[in-house]
């Protein structure tokens, strides 16, 4: 609009198209609808060209954010060819440990490009890409070298695009969560932690846990009316959250997460996933279901389903179920659960730490875990490993013996997937033992605690059977067994388990560097030899940048 000038002429508040191109002052004479130059040149005086915004960029929109504007697409994240490569790697390498999709229907949706029309499936694809890229950082050069600075930047991009999609198509996702929303949050939890974004990871974990509680998917009644497929996806999500909560409490005295269930209403037996192939989930008729948890037994003439590896991992984590609370009125599976409170309250009678739980104002800490409770956990873990299906055992650490347990019809891809799961199960078991052992070792820094018996039949004053000595024996045993497992596993198998596996190995090896226990010189030499072997193994596997340090939060990868 023209405005009055001090000379009585009207100067336009913005130049017309002609004056703007010429970069001259746009002046209107009298009541003319055209500026002086346009009138003199007898051309139309128009204001049609686009104007750039004036003034500084708004601070709430960072100039380097570079988020897509308009309709989102996979190409905003990565080229389609790269996208398909990431999806293939997820299905082959990551899915066995994060089975949060139904593979047949997922493949069908990918082939039909459902992500272009279905926002929920689009977000699922982004989350799967994020967790795959973070799980296999060695392949980052193939995935995002030309577009992203590192794995973390690629994961951040996926998280930003998921948020934009949620705001655009699901603005009430926080108040009205769905199963699909919850699964995306779980996947982003794993991706963020693997990429070294711990705060972001805990945020997504808390979000997923709250969604699960809001949907009350820990209650058997909430599964009525759901298809067998939807029920299984929810059960798998329950156990992924359970594993997150266990790791949170193993790694931190004050956990970041709450519980995803109500102990009074949780049917643990029902929530165990069915050990049947994904292909069979849509074929079984509800009327023919026979087992208490709603599944038929797997056929004996076919290879073991891939999901069996995940179920075995769940059973390993059920050995430490009491870490989640002071008891489970909902009765966790008796085959795996420990006696109520043994992990925290059963300590040796002469141990000065015994009174901590009964002392007003003093909260329980990791130092209140007793050696007797540790022994029970170790025995339970050993029993669980002995009861594994043959294809998931490490048979005398002999690959030839292991091959005898494979099904004749198993494909090379399926064999590789079981190799990945086998490594995860056994190394995770050792990591759990090591974590609890280190918590237990804090209880014996006082010399008086050496009078406590730690093994059946051992006299408290017997040489070589003091708690300090026994702790060293446990540490050495765990390290030796881990080295044997690592020699059995190929480099490809270990790499497919992701960066958290590297951290687990590093954490166990680091316990041998602890010098607070008095050990003989020959044991010190053994410790140095073990550490040197671990260093060689980690040198071949540890391809992450030195600036990225992630905690061993999850066993999923």
Per the model's pLDDT, the better-predicted residue between 364 and 479 turns out to be: 479
Contact 242, 208 (CB under 8 A): no
Q: In the prediction, which pLDDT does 78 show?
A: 93
Per the model's pLDDT, the better-predicted residue between 66 and 115 turns out to be: 115
Q: Hey, what are 546's tokens?
A: 């030195």
Contact 250, 436 (CB under 8 A): yes
Q: What is the average pLDDT across 216-233? A: 91
Is there a single domain that holds both residue 135 and residue 259? yes
Banded model confidence at residue 503, pLDDT cuts 50, 70, 90: confident
Q: In the prediction, which pLDDT does 514 show?
A: 63
Q: Is the pLDDT of residue 235 over 80?
A: yes
Q: Half-sphere exposure of residue 323, counting CA atoms within 13 Å on the CB side? A: 29
Banded model confidence at residue 509, pLDDT cuts 50, 70, 90: confident
Is there a single domain that holds both residue 188 and residue 92? yes
Q: Hey, what are 312's tokens?
A: 């075995």
From the CA atom positions of the chain, what is the Rg in Å?
Answer: 30
Is there a single domain that holds both residue 109 and residue 167? yes
Per the model's pLDDT, the better-predicted residue between 552 and 436 turns out to be: 436
Q: In the prediction, which pLDDT does 123 show?
A: 96
Q: How far apart are CA 418 and CA 416, in angstroms?
A: 5
Banded model confidence at residue 544, pLDDT cuts 50, 70, 90: very low
Q: Vertex 188, ends 169 and 326: CA angle to 5°?
A: 115
Residue 236, SS3? helix
- Positive or negative torsion for Cα 206, 212, 216, 219: negative
β-bridge partners, 3:
11
Extended strands (E) in 24-93: 27-28
Is there a single domain that holds both residue 17 and residue 116? no
Is there a single domain that holds both residue 36 and residue 89? no
Q: What is the mean pLDDT of the chain?
A: 74
Q: How far apart are CA 437 and CA 427, in angstroms?
A: 15
Per the model's pLDDT, the better-predicted residue between 248 and 452 turns out to be: 248
Q: In the prediction, which pLDDT does 203 show?
A: 95
- Residue 504 maps to a domain: no
Banded model confidence at residue 295, pLDDT cuts 50, 70, 90: low
Contact 307, 314 (CB under 8 A): no
> End of a domain among 335, 364, 395?
335
- Residue 429 maps to a domain: no
Q: What is the pLDDT of residues 168-214, one digit of tens each?
A: 888 888 889 999 999 999 999 999 998 989 999 999 999 999 999 99
Q: In the prediction, which pLDDT does 30 show?
A: 74
Q: In the prediction, which pLDDT does 34 show?
A: 85
Q: In the prediction, which pLDDT does 483 show?
A: 84
Q: In the prediction, which pLDDT does 319 show?
A: 84
Is there a single domain that holds both residue 12 and residue 154? no
Is there a single domain that holds both residue 37 and residue 90? no
Q: How far apart are CA 378 and CA 141, in angstroms?
A: 41
Q: What is the pLDDT of residues 247-283, one digit of tens each?
A: 888 778 788 998 888 877 888 889 999 988 888 887 6
Q: How far apart are CA 227 and CA 105, in angstroms?
A: 14
β-bridge partners, 327:
none
Q: How far apart are CA 40 and CA 429, in angstroms?
A: 88
- Positive or negative torsion for Cα 164, 168, 171, 177: negative
Q: Hey, what are 76's tokens?
A: 């905003």
- Residue 241 maps to a domain: yes
Q: Is the pLDDT of residue 3 over 60?
A: no
- The top-scoring range by mean pLDDT among 76-80, 322-326, 398-402, 493-497 is 76-80
Q: Would you give the DSSP letter of residue 35?
A: B
Q: In the prediction, which pLDDT does 338 show?
A: 35
Q: In the prediction, which pLDDT does 112 show?
A: 95
231, containing H or E segment: helix 228-251
- Residue 524 maps to a domain: no
Q: What is the average pLDDT across 513-520? A: 56
Banded model confidence at residue 510, pLDDT cuts 50, 70, 90: confident
Is there a single domain that holds both residue 30 and residue 78? no
Q: How far apart are CA 298 and CA 304, in angstroms?
A: 8
Give the full edge-to-edge strand order of the sheet including 10-12. Answer: 2-4, 10-12, 27-28
Q: In the prediction, which pLDDT does 397 show?
A: 45
Q: Is the pLDDT of residue 516 over 90?
A: no
Q: How far apart are CA 410 and CA 422, in angstroms?
A: 16
Instruction: Tell me the residue range of the domain where 26 lies.
Output: 2-41
Percent of the chain with pLDDT over 90: 27
How many C-beta neighbours within 10 Å does residue 306 have? 20
Q: Hey, what are 534's tokens?
A: 């671990």
**The length of the chain, given as a count of residues:** 557
Q: How far apart are CA 182 and CA 194, in angstroms?
A: 19
CA 528 from chain center: how many Å?
Answer: 33
Residues 6+ apart with CB under 8 A from 134: 151, 155, 190, 191, 192, 194, 195, 498, 499
Banded model confidence at residue 520, pLDDT cuts 50, 70, 90: low
Q: Measuring CA to CA, how many Å separate 216 from each of 159, 178, 209, 262, 292?
A: 26, 11, 10, 9, 20
β-bridge partners, 10:
4, 28
- Residue 83 maps to a domain: yes
Is there a single domain that holds both residue 91 and residue 14? no
Residue 27, SS3? strand
β-bridge partners, 2:
12
- Residue 513 maps to a domain: no
Q: In the prediction, which pLDDT does 547 show?
A: 33
Distance spanning both ends of the chain, measured CA to CA: 63
Is there a single domain that holds both residue 223 and residue 159? yes
- Residue 542 maps to a domain: no
Per the model's pLDDT, the better-predicted residue between 524 and 400 turns out to be: 524
Contact 196, 549 (CB under 8 A): yes
Q: Please report where in the chains the tokens 């490809």 appear, as a residue.
A: 492
> End of a domain among 300, 335, 370?
335
Contact 421, 312 (CB under 8 A): yes
Is there a single domain that holds both residue 266 and residue 179? yes
Phi first, then psi, for residue 2 (nearest 5°) are -70, 145
Q: How far apart are CA 539 and CA 110, in angstroms?
A: 37
- The top-scoring range by mean pLDDT among 229-233, 359-363, 547-551 is 229-233
Q: What is the average pLDDT across 539-545? A: 57
Contact 425, 309 (CB under 8 A): yes
How many C-beta neighbours within 10 Å does residue 6 have? 6
Across 31-49, b (16+ Cβ under 10 Å) vs e yields eeebbbbbeeeeeebeeee
Is there a single domain that holds both residue 126 and residue 12? no
- Residue 357 maps to a domain: no
Q: What is the pLDDT of residues 140-150, one digit of tens each?
A: 888 987 789 99
Per the model's pLDDT, the better-predicted residue between 478 and 49 turns out to be: 478
Number of domains into which the chain is organized: 2
Contact 505, 537 (CB under 8 A): yes
């Amino acid at each position: 609009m023209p405005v009055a000038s001090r000379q009585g002429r009207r100067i336009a508040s913005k130049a017309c198209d002609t004056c703007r191109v010429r970069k001259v002052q746009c002046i209107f004479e009298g009541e003319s609808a055209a500026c002086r130059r346009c009138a003199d040149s007898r051309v139309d005086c128009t204001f049609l060209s686009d104007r750039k915004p004036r003034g500084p960029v708004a601070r709430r929109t960072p100039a380097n954010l570079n988020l897509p504007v308009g309709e989102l697409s996979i190409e905003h994240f990565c080229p389609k060819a790269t996208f398909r490569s990431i999806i293939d790697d997820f299905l082959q390498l990551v899915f066995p440990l994060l089975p949060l999709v139904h593979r047949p229907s997922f493949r069908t949706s990918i082939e039909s490009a459902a992500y272009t029309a279905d926002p929920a499936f689009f977000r699922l694809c982004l989350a799967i890409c994020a967790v795959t890229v973070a799980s296999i950082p060695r392949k980052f050069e193939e995935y995002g070298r030309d577009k992203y600075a590192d794995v973390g930047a690629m994961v951040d991009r996926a998280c930003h695009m998921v948020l934009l999609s949620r705001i655009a198509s699901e603005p009430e996702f926080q108040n009205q969560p769905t199963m699909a929303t919850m699964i995306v949050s779980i996947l982003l939890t794993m991706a963020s932690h693997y990429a070294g974004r711990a705060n972001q990871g805990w945020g997504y974990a808390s979000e997923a846990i709250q969604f699960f509680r809001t949907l009350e998917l820990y209650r058997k009644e909430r599964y009525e009316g759901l298809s067998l497929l939807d029920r299984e996806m929810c059960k798998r999500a329950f156990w992924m959250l359970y594993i997150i909560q266990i790791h949170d409490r193993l790694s931190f005295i004050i956990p970041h997460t709450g519980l995803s269930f109500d102990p009074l209403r949780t049917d643990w037996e029902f929530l165990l996933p069915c050990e049947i192939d994904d292909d069979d989930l849509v074929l079984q008729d509800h009327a023919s279901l026979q087992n208490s948890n709603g599944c038929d037994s797997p056929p004996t003439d076919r290879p073991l389903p891939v999901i069996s590896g995940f179920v075995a991992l769940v059973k390993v984590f059920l050995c430490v179920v009491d870490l989640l609370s002071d008891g489970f009125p909902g009765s966790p599976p008796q085959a795996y659960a420990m006696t109520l409170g043994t992990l925290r309250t059963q300590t040796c009678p002469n141990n000065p730490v015994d009174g901590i739980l009964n002392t007003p104002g003093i909260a329980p800490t990791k130092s209140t875990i007793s050696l007797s409770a540790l022994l029970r956990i170790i025995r339970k873990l050993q029993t669980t490993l002995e009861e594994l299906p043959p294809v998931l055992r490490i048979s005398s650490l002999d690959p030839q013996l292991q091959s005898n347990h494979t099904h004749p019809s198993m494909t090379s891809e399926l064999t590789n997937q079981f190799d990945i799961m086998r490594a995860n199960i056994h190394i995770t078991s050792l990591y759990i033992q090591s974590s609890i052992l280190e918590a237990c070792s804090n209880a014996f820094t006082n010399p008086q605690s050496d009078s406590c018996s730690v093994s059946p039949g051992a006299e408290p004053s017997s040489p070589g059977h003091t708690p300090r000595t026994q702790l060293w024996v446990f540490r050495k045993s765990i390290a030796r067994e881990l080295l044997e497992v690592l020699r059995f596993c190929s480099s490809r198998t270990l790499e497919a388990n992701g960066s958290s596996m590297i951290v687990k190995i590093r954490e166990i090896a680091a316990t041998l560097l602890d010098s607070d226990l008095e050990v003989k010189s020959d044991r010190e030499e053994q410790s140095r030899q073990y550490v040197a072997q671990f260093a060689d193994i980690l040198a071949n596997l540890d391809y992450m940048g030195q600036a990225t340090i992630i905690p061993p939060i999850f066993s999923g990868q």
